[in-house]
């Protein structure tokens, strides 16, 4: 997985810079952040799964490279005790993409896509790129129960600082928020593939809390 991710990053970044040292520095930085011991779900495996899936959707996405940069950086800053991770990640991405010679409009798009993952609501509507990014981020919800259970266990580990009497109500609130939406996913592709299973998983977890 690590070698595949390295190749993906190197191929993408090399399209925008010939500075091999800079690209390598960015890779090591990404790896360090996502490999932090406190990360049990928001790690390189999460990035890997999103990048694998977006390959299948390439023909449906307008700004493919920008969506991939978004995936790489959307959780680069992640602390379970903070509520501004997405804003910090967006700012981090801006600072890294400037030296890669992306134009200001492209960097702004990446920032907005990252920020949209905070509340999982669309902020860009001129095409479906934002919808696909958000659906990719939540694709884990539609996995089989065993995989979903492992995901919830890993999320719980990331919030280990909080005792159950604090964690459970907060988690239930998150689950209820998603269950109360008309649909969990924005695109037909993900709705058809994951919607029913995702709702079953969310309801089951809610009942177990």
* Domain residue spans of the chain: 1-137, 144-209
Q: How many CB atoms neighbour CB 147 within 10 A? A: 11
Cα end-to-end distance, the chain, whole Å? 33
Helix (H) or strand (E) holding 87: helix 85-97
For the stretch 116-155, pLDDT in tens is: 999 999 999 999 999 999 999 999 999 999 999 999 999 9
For the stretch 68-123, pLDDT in tens is: 999 999 999 999 999 999 999 999 999 999 999 899 999 999 999 999 999 999 99
């Amino acid at each position: 997985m690590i070698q595949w991710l390295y190749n993906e990053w190197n191929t993408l970044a090399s399209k925008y810079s010939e500075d091999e040292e800079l690209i390598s520095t960015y890779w090591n930085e990404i790896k360090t952040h996502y490999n932090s011991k406190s990360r049990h779900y928001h790690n390189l495996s999460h990035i890997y799964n999103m990048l694998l899936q977006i390959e299948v959707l390439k023909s449906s996405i307008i700004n493919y490279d920008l969506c991939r940069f978004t995936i790489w950086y959307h959780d680069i800053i992640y602390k379970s005790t903070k509520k501004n991770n997405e804003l910090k990640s967006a700012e981090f991405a801006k600072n890294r993409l400037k030296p890669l010679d992306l134009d200001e409009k492209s960097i702004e798009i990446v920032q907005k896509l990252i920020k949209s993952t905070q509340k999982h609501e669309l902020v860009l509507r001129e095409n479906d790129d934002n919808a696909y990014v958000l659906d990719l981020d939540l694709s884990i919800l539609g996995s089989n129960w065993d995989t979903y259970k492992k995901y919830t266990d890993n999320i719980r580990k990331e919030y280990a600082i909080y005792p159950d009497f604090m964690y459970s109500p907060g988690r239930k609130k998150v689950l209820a928020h998603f269950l109360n939406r008309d649909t969990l996913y924005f695109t037909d592709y993900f709705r058809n593939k994951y919607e029913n299973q995702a709702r079953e998983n969310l309801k089951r977890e809610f009942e177990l809390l």
